[in-house]
Structures are given as C-alpha cells and as structure tokens.
Structure 1
Amino acid sequence: MARTKRRQAGEGGISEYRTSTGTKFLIKYNAVRPDGSTKVVLKRGFATRREAANALRTEVRKVETGEWVDLSKETLTSYLDEWIGAQRLAPSTESSYEKNIRLHVDKYIGRTPLDRLTAMSIDTWMRKLELSGRADGKGGLSARTVRYIFTILRSALSDAVKHGHLAVNPTDRCSPPTPSQARPPEMLAWTAVELARFLTWSESFDSEAAMAWRVLGFTGMRRGEALALRWRDVDLDVMRVAVRRSVGLVRTKDRGEELVEGPTKTGQSRVVELDAGTVQKLRLYKARRSSISSELVRDSALVLGGLDGSYRHPERFSRRFNSHVTRARRAFGEDKLPRIRLHDLRHTHATLLLADGEPVKVVSERLGHANATITLGVYQHVHPGMGRQAADRFAALLDDPE
C-alpha cells in the first residue's frame, strides 16, 4: 500500500474530524502577517480530502505570493466595499446595493470579521431588520425588503467562498423570509371607464401631463422608458414607438443624486404599436411644443422632457401623478376613482388587455417582459375570470358541434 507523501514544512497539513453529519476535513498552514509575525491558520468544513487539498494549495500559494489576507482583520463592511467594486452592475442597481448595505448591513453586522459570520448571527440580524430596521426609526422593514438585502449578502458571500476567502457560505443555512412572505404589494388597476375618466379630466386640467399619462396607460411602458423616449423613436405615420432605453435616478454617497440613462430593464429594445387616438394626440402635443421652441421637437429631443429639454425627475414625475389623482378624486368623488400609483398604469394596460382576451404573448411583448411566463405570473389575478370564459366557450362547442 502506497504511503501518503508527507508534506514539507511550510506546505501545511490536512486533518479529518467527525461531525454529526459525518467526516469533514480541515486545513492548517502558517501565514506571515504584515508585522512579520506568524499565524497558524485553520479552516474547517471541507467535505472531501481532495477539496481540502485544493484549498490548501490555494492558500499556500497566496502566502508565497503575498496575496494572503488575515481574514480576522477583514470586516464584512470592508469586504462588501471591495466586492461591489468588482461587480458589473447597472448604475441604479449599484446605487441600490450600496444604499441597502450602508443602511441595513454596516450598521448591524458590518464590523463582524468575515470568517466569524454564522448562520445564527445572520438570522438574528434579519429578525432585527423586520422588527426595527427602518432608517427613519419608524418600525421594521417588510419581508420583501429583508429578503432582497439577504440576497445581496448571499451573493457576496458566495463570491467570498469562490475566491477562497471563506470555506463555506453561512447564508446557506439561514432562514430568510420565504417568497410567499415576500410577496410584492397588492397590484391595483383601473377599469377602462376609470382610466378614460381620469385622462379626460387630466386633459382639461393639465394637457401636457395628460399626454404623459396617456402614453403610459396606452402603451404599458415603464416610467423610465417613457421619460427616455425621444422623437426619433416615435413614428407617427407607421403608428408605433421604439422603446430602446430607460432613465433612472441614481444616488451615491460621493456624487449625490443624478439621472442616468441606460438600457431597458431587460436590456432589450422593443416596438410598441400605437392606436389612432394616441397618434392624433401626439401630433397635437408635438405641434404645441414646436410653437414654444423647435429644439423641443428635434429628433434627439425628449418627448416627455421639460420645457428646457431636460429629463423630468422620475420621483417628482410620480408625485405629480399622485397629486393629479388626488385632485381628480375630489372632482369625481373618491368612490368613482380608486387611488393607484403611477406604475399601476402599466398594470392597468396589461390587465385590461388580458381580461379582454388579448393573447398573453402579445401583452408580454408590449410590456417588454423577458418571456410570457413572467406576464402570466404577474397577472395571474386576471386569469380566474378568463378561465370561466374558456370553460363556457368549450361547453358551447359541444352543445353546438355542427
């Protein structure tokens, strides 16, 4: 029987140990700190000897090349700062990650050494967020928000394992809010009568804003897509618009607040057909803007931009819609017009089409979903009634087979 080759001094060693789930392996090696002192490093949790051997070779190589980092001195905050800088993220996503880490990770577990994180400490942190995690001190975060923050942390720690900073990912044994607990807020939508009532009122109150509400309601575009629409994207003769980009608000600690234009949410362009009424109103809207300045209707000008040609601020744009809804509800009576968010104009567009029997594939393409399965999942609330219609149609086929 061949003997296992004895490792030389400085190469480290591998040992096995027993756990309640079976045999595991640990590695042991010497590393030199920046001050010249030597540290004996132990890493546990390897499932096989081969896995442990591969990890040991990696760590010894880091020691030899000066790349080794004393993890006991690297905090979670320090690691996450480095991790975000290495990601390929859209500006808005990077801003969201940074904000959530700053407000909800750094404050609670950011000082914890990376290799001291445990599943229990992470579960305890999530429970604190649910109870009192709001930055304004007014209660806890929603299960949906906590799950989103946990997902960021899990991704970061998965990379830490992949790059040799951790032997195991502690989040693998955690209990974040479940998908059912993290359901999005209830989706709201207007009826066709309510949408028509609001648009008619808006035209008499603020014709320029009414054009924006109509574009959103009649095309299902996302807010950022509509605000980034340029006249070269609009073909009034062919009656369609090309949705190629989106603009979003990005906040960073160093640069403050800025509007950044980028691709659509899926990264794909799409074409959305327009109805004759919307085309007519866009022609009138364009003529009005042309009378103010020819610069507002040149090919590169923003369709829904400000009168100075700049992007409209997305959050102020949404607040303007909310204000209009409030005024319209006072005018009609609150029972005549439910309160919805700006994004719910997109839901209204999809819901009305699906309820009227438009194929899911067509609606999915108009909305710019990556596939029709997403549309079915988001708008499953529409389908019970549609299923009843399908059942009645099938029964009618058998009642009158000829």
Structure 2
Amino acid sequence: MPKRDKHIEAYKKKDGKTYYRYKTYLGLDPLTGKRVFAGKAGFTSYNDAKVSYDKARAAGVTGSVSQKKTFGEVYKLWLEAHKLQVKPSTIATQSDIVKNHILPYFGTDDISKIKPIKYQQWVIDLAKSYAAYRLTISIFNQIYDYGVSLGACDKLNNPNLMASIPAVRREKRMDNYYSQEELAEFLEAADKISHKSYIYFRLLALTGLRRSEALALTWSDVTPETIAVTKTLTGVGVQTPKTRRSNRLVPIDDVMYNLLLDLKQPGVDVIFANKFGAYHNIAAPRYWLQKIYQSNPQLRKITIHGFRHTFASLMTGAGLADVQLIMGHSSADMTIGTYTHQTDSSVNRIREQVKKLETDL
C-alpha cells in the first residue's frame, strides 16, 4: 500500500464519518511579504484530498493567493519604497496630491481593472480644476508602474495609454513682477498692515531669495553685508537647499540689515519667527500677501514668487551671470572654479545695484 502524504489527515465529524483535510505552507506573498498557506477540508476520500493538495502545491503562491489589489493598497506599498528615494518635503507634497486628487476616484478600485472611460473623465475634470494636473497624472503612472513591478496589474492595461491628455493652457496674464514704482507702492501699503510682512517682501524683492529660504533664516546666517543661504523651510521642517547652487551668499546693504534687526527678539534665533519664537508655517507668506491685497485693491497682484522675479527684473545694471549666481539658479552654466572666482565680484556688483534702488524705495 503506497505511503500516505503526512500533510493530509483524517478526521471525524459528528455524523461519525471519516473525512480528509490538508494545510500546507506555500511561501511569501510578493505584494505583502506575508506567509501564505493553502488548506481545505471536507474531502470524503484520501485520494480527492491528495489531488487538491497536489494542485495547490503546483500552483504555489501565485495560484493560491488572490493577486487582486486596490489602487490604494499599491499606493501604500509605493509610498514606503518612494520614501527611500526622495526628500520628505517631496513625499509630503505628493502624498497630498494623491489623497486629494487620486484616491477619492481610484482608491478602492482593483488597480488591474481601472476602466479607460472612468480614467478619461477623471483627467478631463482634473485639467479643468487643478493647475498641477500633469504632475498628478505623472504620480498616478508612477504608482501604476509600481503595481506592474509587483505583478498586481499589466503595463499594457494602464488606462493612461488610452487617454487623451489636455494640453497645458497658456492663459494671457500680467507680468508676474513689479516695476520699481509698483514695488515702492506695494511696500508702502505693506508697512501699514504689518512691519514684519513689509520686511519679508522687501527682502524677497531686493535679494531674490525664495520664500522658503527667507522663512528659514536664522541670525547666524546674517552679517551687515551678506546673507548665507544654507537651508530652506518645508512643510515637514528645515532641509538643505533644493540644489547645490542654492547654497550661496546674497548681498544686503545697511538699510536691509537694520530692518532685519527690527525683528530681533531676545533668545530667539529665527529671524521671521512666530509668536512662539519658532518657524512660521510655510503657508504664512500667502496669508500676509492676501491681507495686503485685500486692504489695498488698487495694487496690481503678483504671486509670492513674483517678488523673486521682481529682483531679477530690477537688476538691469548687473550681468546675467551675476544675477544667476545670487539667485542660486541651477541653469548658471559655470564650473565650480568659475563660481568660486566670481562670487566676490558678483556680490559687490549686485550690492551696488541694491543701494541704487534703496534710495527710491
């Protein structure tokens, strides 16, 4: 009589009859990393149980575990892997996009069965309501491709391949920067609302600092002649600047330095500090700007980034390379040696331009 498989056991039910069952370990689920077992009971003969057992063993994990995964489940796995590759600020931004614009539509859908017609309607609605719709679509594709690598969906079934993506709308608008006269008018109005916001926007317009770089400034970064840009404030805290060239020295004059001193608080290292002596929320400048515009409807509106553009437009007496260096543009086509050699002279030339502007502001 052939030897019976030890994984198949006989047992009795209340009716007194003998039945057969099995349970066996198959391996790890490639999507979750969890241990996978196959088992079944209720067979009336050993042979029937053995046939089922052999099929389960032959199929392995792939055949015995449902590979159905929702888009939301794949997103969670993608996010954990993505955290190892990008900065926390990027994770925070992309997570918000996914939670607000992707998961509400596809979070509970089987990722392998997202219908092209549903995806196309999502793309159309997204393009109408959200300026960063192309970035959102790109993130969707990153998550879907990660699902492909896990075996949860097929690359050829990506609904994006069958969708029509609207072109970026090029709307005509006013230039996003101020002339010298407009800047003077804005700063006069801002100072009547808040001395802190007046100093903040004046600093952006006369140094070319990014809003997050200005918010991150501490007193150790500042001398009467320069500001050392070494960090940037994000939604998750202070980080290193976005590019290597973002680490730079920015010139200031006596007027700007003395204005910054107006903000100095005993025992507080952060220059633009909140009432607790800590960093402001990264969104604070937007509220400062809104308040100024609401109280002064005669002012032409520009964005916060427009003050950085304002700096570039006002530096007409300086060379393009000088402006690129001071603003930390990654497009400055220079070697590190050239950068080091030109830094002092660039700072001095920009400082002279700022001094000329200060007399009219």
TM-score bracket, normalised by the shorter chain, equals 0.5 to 0.7
Match of 1:106 among 87, 103, 106: 103
Aligned-residue Cα RMSD (Å) equals 3.4
Normalised TM-score (structure 1): 0.60
Match of 2:313 among 325, 337, 351: 351
Q: Relative to structure 1, is the Cα distance of residues 165 and 191 closer, same or farther in structure 2, using a 3 angstrom cutoff?
A: same
Is 1:365 aligned to 2:325, yes or no? yes
Between the aligned partners of 1:272 and 1:72, the Cα distance in structure 2 is: 54
1:74 equivalent in structure 2 = 69
Contact 1:202–1:209 (CA under 8 A) maintained in structure 2: yes
Local SS of the residue matching 2:228: strand
Local SS of the residue matching 2:273: coil
Q: Relative to structure 1, is the Cα distance of residues 205 and 155 closer, same or farther in structure 2, using a 3 angstrom cutoff?
A: closer
Between the aligned partners of 1:86 and 1:185, the Cα distance in structure 2 is: 40
Between the aligned partners of 2:125 and 2:190, the Cα distance in structure 1 is: 44
Is 1:125 aligned to 2:119, yes or no? no
Amino acid at match of 1:246: T
Local SS of the residue matching 1:306: coil
Is 1:97 aligned to 2:74, yes or no? no
2:21 equivalent in structure 1 = none
Deviation of the 1:150 alpha carbon: 0.5
Between the aligned partners of 1:105 and 1:284, the Cα distance in structure 2 is: 45
Between the aligned partners of 1:218 and 1:110, the Cα distance in structure 2 is: 46
Amino acid at match of 1:243: V
Match of 1:240 among 226, 231, 256: 226
Contact 1:72–1:114 (CA under 8 A) maintained in structure 2: no
1:261-281 Cα shifts (integer Å, max 9, x gaps) = 1122336542243242xx333
Q: Relative to structure 1, is the Cα distance of residues 205 and 114 closer, same or farther in structure 2, using a 3 angstrom cutoff?
A: closer
Q: How does 1:162-181 map to 2 (within 5 A)?
A: 162-168=149-155, 170=158, 171-178=160-167, 180-181=168-169
1:16-69 Cα shifts (integer Å, max 9, x gaps) = xxxxxxxxxxxxxxx99957389xxxxxxxxxxxxxxxxxxxxxxxx76x5889
1:97-133 Cα shifts (integer Å, max 9, x gaps) = 2222222222222222122235554223212434xxx
Match of 1:273 among 250, 256, 275: 250
Normalised TM-score (structure 2): 0.66
Local SS of the residue matching 2:235: strand
1:52 equivalent in structure 2 = none
Match of 2:182 among 194, 206, 210: 194
Higher relative contact order (CA 8 A, sep 6+): 2
Q: Relative to structure 1, is the Cα distance of residues 186 and 372 closer, same or farther in structure 2, using a 3 angstrom cutoff?
A: farther
Q: Relative to structure 1, is the Cα distance of residues 71 and 339 closer, same or farther in structure 2, using a 3 angstrom cutoff?
A: farther
Amino acid at match of 1:152: I
1:261 equivalent in structure 2 = 238
Q: Relative to structure 1, is the Cα distance of residues 242 and 80 closer, same or farther in structure 2, using a 3 angstrom cutoff?
A: same
Contact 2:270–2:277 (CA under 8 A) maintained in structure 1: yes
For structure 2, which runs of at least 5 residues remain unmatched after alignment?
1-26, 30-35, 41-58, 334-361
For structure 1, which runs of at least 5 residues remain unmatched after alignment?
1-30, 39-62, 131-139, 251-259, 374-402
Seq. identity, %: 21
Between the aligned partners of 1:312 and 1:323, the Cα distance in structure 2 is: 16
Between the aligned partners of 1:97 and 1:37, the Cα distance in structure 2 is: 41
1:340 equivalent in structure 2 = 302
Amino acid at match of 2:231: R
Deviation of the 1:357 alpha carbon: 6.0
1:127-158 Cα shifts (integer Å, max 9, x gaps) = 2434xxxxxxxxx523x332121010112222
Amino acid at match of 1:115: S
Local SS of the residue matching 1:311: coil
Local SS of the residue matching 1:242: strand
Deviation of the 1:305 alpha carbon: 1.5
1:283 equivalent in structure 2 = 258
Q: Relative to structure 1, is the Cα distance of residues 196 and 274 closer, same or farther in structure 2, using a 3 angstrom cutoff?
A: farther
Q: Relative to structure 1, is the Cα distance of residues 32 and 246 closer, same or farther in structure 2, using a 3 angstrom cutoff?
A: closer
1:158 equivalent in structure 2 = 145
- After superposing the two structures, state which structure 1 stretch, 182-191 or 209-218, moved more: 182-191
Deviation of the 1:187 alpha carbon: 5.0
Between the aligned partners of 2:174 and 2:181, the Cα distance in structure 1 is: 21
Local SS of the residue matching 1:111: coil
